[in-house]
Amino acid sequence: MPENTPKTKDDLFIFLDGLGIAHKTVDHAPVFTVAESVALRDEIPGGHTKNLFIKDKKDRYFLLTVEENAEVDLKQVHTIIGGSGRVSFGRAEKLMEYLGVIPGAVTAFGAINDTAGNVTFVLDADLMAEEVVNCHPLANDATTSIASGDLVRFMEATGHKPLVLKVTS
């Protein structure tokens, strides 16, 4: 596979298996928003995520992964994550280039595609208090459940040291 070809969910599962990380995936119709995914809650226990792909004034990129109903103050979050000036949303082109996903499929698992370390991953402390965290497996037609501690271990195995910070209000 050429280096610039994004990894697939099957690649992700092989990677997780290689790390000895337990995971469970439920396939479903594609969902593009948190509102669309609410119907899945009964069959998938644990903390459900939303992800904000943002950049600061110096064009440094961050992925904030928070509990789906949490609120993030985009006018202040730069002071918590170490950003330079207020943040704005990153463009879809950069999302694909760095994380290998499209809008609607944004996920902390995108760390597997960020081989150059262009993105700082921030996991909200409240979300990480959950025993199980649910994320899209690089596509929005499935949800993968993983222990919160194993999500950190996964990220570290991809060469990232995620920041676990209280970024929600």
Give residue-wise pLDDT tens across range 107-117. Answer: 999 999 999 99
Instruction: Print the domain residue range for 27.
Output: 9-34+46-160
Is 1 contained in some domain?
A: no
Is 166 contained in some domain?
A: no
Is 147 contained in some domain?
A: yes
CA distance 67 to 50: 6
Is 41 contained in some domain?
A: no
Residue listed under structure tokens 């690089």: 138
Residue 94: HSE in the Cβ half-sphere, 13 Å Cα cutoff: 16
Domain count, the chain: 1
Indicate if the pLDDT at residue 22 is higher than 80.
yes
Give residue-wise pLDDT tens across range 70-83. Answer: 999 999 999 999 99
Question: 148-157 and 9-18 are packed helices; what angle lies between their axes, rounded to 10 degrees?
Answer: 100
Is 60 contained in some domain?
A: yes
Q: What is the pTM assigned to this prediction?
A: 0.92
Rg of the chain on CA atoms, in Å: 15
- CATH of residue 149's domain is 3.90.960.10
